[in-house]
Amino acid sequence: MKKSVVGLSLFFLCITSLISRSIAVEVADAPKEIWVKIDLWKRRLFLMEGSKVVQSFPVAAGKENFPTPIGNWKVTEKSREWGGGFGTRWLGLNVPWGTYGIHGTNQPNSIGHDTSHGCIRMLNSDIERLFERTPVGVTVRIEGPIFGREEWRMKKLVRGDRGTLVMLVQNRLQAAGYYSGPVDGIFGQALERTVKRYQRDHRLLVTGQIQLPEYIHLGLLE
């Protein structure tokens, strides 16, 4: 009887070990998610597979008055042969306040600088390689200085402005219970009214605009 129990125990241990190894192999062999990381500080784009860098490319980013949108986006469209300043390939992003994407260029000397109107520019040979590896739905994470580069002036936000900063202000005002509109990065009339109400409640100069005092009060600057 004891021999039978020992035998069964060894049998189950072997089975458990085999199952564990099988699961470990499956996990190890599972394909890693492909995604794109763009570092605006370095002006480089990284094609990622999980946490591993597969390829790295130099890029051009938005200039002072046309900053590149920072945040997590998705590729929503792919096109070939846009031509002209857009080069040979286009990867459109789901930025809510405008048309932004990753594309080629007919100005290769601009790569490595802040020269675009907010899009990410790449050499045509590089965007063609990236195009083949990035299906619609891929995540694109753009990281960089929220308030722009140190040498850029502080951005005053007024009605009609669009961008990452506007979206951050909407987020903070929504969290504070003031704003109930869409967090879409568009500074419209509803946001202007909300800003005025916030300014009155916190004894700030009522302008309907976002400047240094509002940035500090909303916790966006220290």
CA–CA distance, 139 with 73 (Å, rounded to integer): 6
CA–CA distance, 72 with 24 (Å, rounded to integer): 31
Task: State the catalytic residue, choosing from 14, 119, 202, 217.
Answer: 119
pLDDT in tens, 129-141: 999 999 999 999 9
Task: State the catalytic residue, choosing from 14, 103, 202, 217.
Answer: 103
Confidence at residue 147, expressed as pLDDT on a 0 to 100 scale: 75
**CATH 2.40.440.10 placement within the chain:** 34-143
Measure Cα distances from 24 to 30, 70, 134 in Å. 10, 37, 28
pLDDT in tens, 11-42: 334 434 444 444 444 444 556 899 999 999 99
Task: Examine the residue annotation and report whether 103 is marked as an active-site residue of this protein.
Answer: yes
Task: Examine the residue annotation and report whether 119 is marked as an active-site residue of this protein.
Answer: yes
Confidence at residue 117, expressed as pLDDT on a 0 to 100 scale: 94
Confidence at residue 151, expressed as pLDDT on a 0 to 100 scale: 65
CA–CA distance, 121 with 40 (Å, rounded to integer): 12
pLDDT in tens, 154-200: 789 999 999 999 999 999 999 999 999 999 999 999 999 999 999 99
Band (pLDDT 50/70/90 cuts) for residue 146 is: confident
- Cα 115 vs. chain centroid, distance in angstroms? 19
Query: Radius of gyration (Cα) for the chain, nearest Å?
Result: 25
pLDDT in tens, 64-108: 889 999 999 999 999 997 777 899 999 999 999 999 999 999 999
Element (H, E) at 24: helix 2-29
Confidence at residue 25, expressed as pLDDT on a 0 to 100 scale: 46
Fold of 34-143: L,D-transpeptidase catalytic domain-like (2.40.440)
Q: What's the predicted TM-score (pTM) here?
A: 0.80
